[in-house]
Amino acid sequence: MKPIANTLALSLMLVAGIALAKEGVKDPGVKLRMETMDAMALNLKLLANMAAGKMDFNAGDADTAKAAVLAATKKIPDVFKGHDVDPASDALPVVWTQWDDFTKKADATHMAVALIDTDTQDQLKTSLGQVAQACKTCHTTYRN
């Protein structure tokens, strides 16, 4: 399978799953927040699969995915600012009571994404570790 076809096939499967997860969401702010986080997850999954050799490495596709993750991480504080709630949301209320820490962790994630190296598969694999750790640090405290 060609790299772009490989990427497209995986993207379509992930997008279908994301669309189903959003069906019950009523609050538009929560929906936007979930879409932002899901776009980040979708593209990180593509990068992780390239790094792990589960799909062909392609620097151009990796750059595109990195740019999408970078754009999503930049939006994190903005999409959470509204304090929107919905039963389908995974965000814990502590997000808003510990806002300074939350935004600090979101900024750290954005900085880790900026450092992703998409030049080679090995460099991609090495640089993704910091991103995974940044995501985990935030999710441990702020995600149900």
pLDDT in tens, 13-64: 444 444 445 667 889 999 999 999 999 999 999 999 999 999 999 999 999 9
**Does residue 90 surpass a pLDDT of 60?**
yes
pLDDT in tens, 99-112: 999 999 999 999 99
Rounded to a whole number of angstroms, the CA Rg of the chain reads 15
Instruction: Write the CA distances from 36 to 57, 69, 121, integer angstroms.
Output: 25, 9, 26
Helix axis angle, 3-22 relative to 59-80, nearest 10°?
Answer: 20
The tokens describing 80, both together, are 């959470």
Distance CA 42, CA 132 (A): 13
Which residues are registered as beta bridge partners of 143? 91
Domain residue ranges of the chain, discontinuous segments joined by +? 3-142
CATH number of 3-142: 1.20.120.10
